[in-house]
């Protein structure tokens, strides 16, 4: 396996996602494509890890609470050398270690997060433990906007704010959809940033596909000295990069056949 941080570029990561989705005939394509820039910026610029050992005890933690977007993380892990090309080719096949949801038994994945609302609580617990141990380890937690319908998320947010967990950077993937419809039609989150800020968080709102804006927001949050946890509300487009998928919630469930796969590759290249 070879690894190169230079390969963590959005077009390459999206190509990996399309390859996995086609090879495994799997769903959850749209909700992986919208996470690409977020993952690239975290891995390239902010996460402390060991190329040779994703379980390094001194590592920073990257937790994907919206575990159904895991293809985006697998796509990055392949470029980091933690997965092989054959892992992507055999994604979701019999005997593969790569499943359709985040699984902590895969090196590089911190939590099993198929059931929504759990990963944020686990991440807050990790951050609290590291604060008690007085380490300088950071915890990045990616949650979905639809996932915030879960009450456990707000318990975790309240806990993080109360305990001033400034070693947390929570990124909300705000693509305005959840499994069955637009979030605004289920539980409206129009004032999401203000709601998080009320729990004693520093909050930035950015375009979740603008790598420079994401980078600046993470830098600002991680160097704040006011003992507050950080949150980025990242506005994203579900299915980003493939025009016939963008903002089409059907691509939470649809699969790629040969024709659609080839069309998606052409759109990605153009």
pLDDT per position as a tens digit, 94-132: 999 999 999 999 999 999 998 899 999 999 999 999 999
Burial of 247 (0-12, 13-18, 19+ CB in 10 A): middle
Give pLDDT, residue 107.
Answer: 96
142-177 confidence digits (pLDDT tens): 999 999 999 999 999 999 999 999 999 999 999 999
Range 132-141 burial, b when 16+ CB lie within 10 A, else e = eeeeebbbbb
In the CATH hierarchy, which fold is given to the domain comprising 8-269? Rossmann fold (3.40.50)
pLDDT tens-digit series, residues 51-86: 899 999 999 999 999 999 999 999 999 999 999 999
Query: Which tokens in the block code for residue 102?
Result: 């985040």
Asked whether the whole model's pTM tops 0.95, one would answer yes
Measured CA to CA in angstroms, residue 126 lies from 14, 77, 172 at distances of: 30, 22, 18
Q: Which residues contact 123 (CB under 8 A, 6 or more apart)?
A: 61, 63, 65, 110, 111, 139, 141, 156, 168, 170
Parse the chain into domains and list their residue ranges.
8-269
CA distance 142 to 119: 9
What is the percentage of the chain residues whose pLDDT exceeds 70?
99
Q: What per-residue confidence (pLDDT) applies to 270?
A: 85
Q: What is the pLDDT of residue 3?
A: 59
What pLDDT, on a 0 to 100 scale, did the predictor assign at position 1? 44
- Give the integer Cα–Cα distance in Å for 107 and 187: 35
**pLDDT of 186 over the 60 cut:** yes
Estimate the crossing angle of helix 119-132 against helix 151-162, to 10 degrees: 20
**Average predicted confidence (pLDDT) for the chain:** 95
């Amino acid at each position: 396996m070879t690894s190169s941080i230079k390969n963590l570029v959005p077009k390459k990561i999206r190509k990996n996602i399309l390859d996995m989705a086609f090879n495994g005939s799997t769903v959850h394509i749209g909700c992986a494509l919208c996470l690409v820039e977020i993952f690239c910026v975290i891995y390239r610029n902010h996460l402390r890890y060991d190329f040779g050992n994703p379980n390094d005890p001194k590592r920073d933690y990257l937790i994907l609470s919206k575990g159904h977007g895991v293809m985006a993380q697998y796509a990055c892990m392949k470029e980091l050398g933690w997965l092989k090309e054959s892992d992507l080719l055999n994604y979701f096949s019999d005997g593969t270690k790569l499943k359709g949801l985040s699984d902590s038994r895969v090196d590089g994945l911190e939590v099993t997060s198929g059931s929504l609302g759990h990963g944020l609580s686990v991440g807050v617990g990790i951050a609290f433990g590291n604060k008690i141990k007085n380490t300088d380890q950071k915890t990045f937690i990616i949650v979905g906007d639809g996932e915030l319908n879960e009450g456990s998320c707000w318990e975790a947010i309240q806990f993080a704010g109360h305990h001033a967990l400034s070693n947390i950077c929570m990124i909300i993937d705000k693509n305005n959809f959840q499994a069955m419809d637009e979030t605004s039609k289920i539980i409206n989150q129009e004032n999401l940033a203000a709601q998080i800020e009320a729990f004693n968080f520093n909050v930035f709102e950015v375009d979740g596909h603008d790598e420079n804006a994401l980078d600046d927001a993470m830098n600002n949050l991680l160097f704040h000295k006011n003992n507050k946890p950080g949150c980025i509300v990242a506005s994203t487009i579900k299915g980003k990069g493939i025009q016939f998928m963008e903002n089409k919630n059907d691509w939470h469930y649809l699969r790629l056949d040969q024709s659609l796969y080839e069309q998606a590759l052409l759109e990605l290249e153009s």
